[in-house]
């Protein structure tokens, strides 16, 4: 048995959970924060049989795609500015998923 831990964007979490359940996978949702731009994340944990790991990862891959986002560049330090600061926008990639697959020695549902 394996424990799959997937850290996904909040925007993808509910759709992913629905897709996992439709395909017979159970999961637990944990709210989490952090990451680039301190955007909201959701951590989804799922215990699966060894032979189902690739199937679940394919579902995660299909739902949690990277997207382009326009955001303001980080302003320079106040120590180095002279005059006003005009923010510049940059395009970044967000989304996707970070997935960990961990062996499970013992599992009990009590």
Query: Is residue 87 in some structural domain?
Result: no
- Domain CATH code at residue 32: 3.30.70.120
**Residue 18, domain extent:** 2-66+95-103
Local confidence band at 31 (pLDDT 50, 70, 90 cut-offs): confident
pTM metric for this prediction: 0.75
Residue 49 confidence (pLDDT) above 60: yes
Residue 68 confidence (pLDDT) above 90: no
Per-residue exposure over 11-43, b if at least 16 CB sit within 10 Å of its own CB, e if not: ebbeebbebbeeeebebeeeeeeeeeeeeebbb
SS3 per residue for 94-110: EECEEEEEEECCCCCCC
Identify the CA nearest to 4 among candidates 27, 21, 24: 27
């Amino acid at each position: 048995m394996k424990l799959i831990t997937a850290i996904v964007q909040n925007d993808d979490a509910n759709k992913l959970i629905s897709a996992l359940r439709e395909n017979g996978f159970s999961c637990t949702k944990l709210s989490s924060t952090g990451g680039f731009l301190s955007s909201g994340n959701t951590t989804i944990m799922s215990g699966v049989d060894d032979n189902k790991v690739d199937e679940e990862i394919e579902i995660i891959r299909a739902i949690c795609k990277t997207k382009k986002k326009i955001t303001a560049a980080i302003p320079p330090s106040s120590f180095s500015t002279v005059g006003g600061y005009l923010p510049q926008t940059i395009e970044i990639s967000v989304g996707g998923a970070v997935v960990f697959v961990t062996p499970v020695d013992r599992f009990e549902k009590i």
